[in-house]
Amino acid sequence: MKAILKNLGIKGTEEGGGTGSAIRCHGRLLDVVSPINGKRIGRVRLADRKDFESVVQCAVDAFQSWKMMPAPKRGDITRQIGIALREKKEDLGALVSLEVGKIRAEGEGEIQEAIDMADFAVGQSRMLYGLSMHSERPIHRMYEQWHPLGPVGVITAFNFPAAVWSWNALIALVCGDTVIWKPSSKAPLTAIALMKIAQGVLQKNGLPEGILGWVVGDRHEVGEAFINDPRIPLISATGSVAMGRHISQAVSRRLGKTLLELGGNNAVIVTAKADMDLAVRAIVFGAVGTAGQRCTTTRRVIVHEDIYDELTQALMKAYRQIPIGDPLKPATLMGPLIDRKAVQNMQSALSRIKKQGGRILCGGEVLSGKRFSAGTYVTPCLCEAPPDAPIVSEETFAPILYLIRYKTLQEAIRYHNAVPQGLSSAIFTTDMREAELFLSQMGSDCGIANVNVGTSGAEIGGAFGGEKNTGGGRESGSDAWKIYMRRQTCTINWGIELPLAQGIRFEPV
Ligand code: UN1
CA dist 290 to 147, 185, 399, 417, Å? 38, 19, 9, 24
- Judge whether 501 lies within some domain: no
Tell how far the Cα of 406 is from the centroid of ligand 1, in angstroms.
28
Shared domain for 227 and 299, answered yes or no, is: no
Provide the angle, in degrees to the nearest 10, between the axes of the packed helices 432-439 and 409-417. 30
- Taking residues 234-261, report their average pLDDT: 98
- Taking residues 331-358, report their average pLDDT: 97
Shared domain for 51 and 101, answered yes or no, is: yes
Tell how far the Cα of 397 is from the centroid of ligand 1, in angstroms.
13
CA dist 6 to 3, 91, 150, 190, 194, Å? 5, 10, 34, 13, 14
Shared domain for 421 and 483, answered yes or no, is: no
Determine the residue type at 479. Answer: D
- Judge whether 9 lies within some domain: yes
* Residue 146 domain boundaries: 2-238+474-488
Residue nearest to atom 7 of ligand 1 (CA): 457
- Mean pLDDT (the chain) is 98
Does residue 159 have its Cβ closer than 6 Å to ligand 1? Answer: yes
Shared domain for 273 and 229, answered yes or no, is: no
- Phi, psi dihedrals of residue 18, rounded to the nearest 5°: -170, 165
Shared domain for 185 and 273, answered yes or no, is: no
pLDDT in tens, 71-95: 999 999 999 999 999 999 999 999 9
User: Which of 116, 464, 475 has the most ligand 1 atoms within 8 A of CB, as the residue to mutate?
Assistant: 464
Burial pattern 166-186, b for ≥16 Cβ within 10 A else e, equals bbbbbbbbbbbbbbbbbbbbb
For residue 202, what is the enclosing H or E element?
A: helix 188-204
Domain count of the fold of the chain: 2
Helix, strand, coil content of the chain in percent (nearest 5): 40, 20, 40
Percent of the chain with pLDDT over 70: 100
490 is catalytic: no
Does residue 238 have its Cβ closer than 6 Å to ligand 1? Answer: yes
Round to whole Å and give the CA distance between 398 and 346: 6
Does residue 5 have its Cβ closer than 6 Å to ligand 1? Answer: no
pLDDT in tens, 148-197: 999 999 999 999 999 999 999 999 999 999 999 999 999 999 999 999 99
Does residue 458 have its Cβ closer than 6 Å to ligand 1? Answer: yes
pLDDT in tens, 478-498: 999 999 999 999 999 999 999
Shared domain for 272 and 395, answered yes or no, is: yes
- Judge whether 125 lies within some domain: yes
Tell how far the Cα of 36 is from the centroid of ligand 1, in angstroms.
21
Shared domain for 25 and 136, answered yes or no, is: yes
295 is catalytic: yes
Shared domain for 371 and 393, answered yes or no, is: yes
Residue nearest to atom 6 of ligand 1 (CA): 457
Tell how far the Cα of 458 is from the centroid of ligand 1, in angstroms.
7
Round to whole Å and give the CA distance between 335 and 102: 6
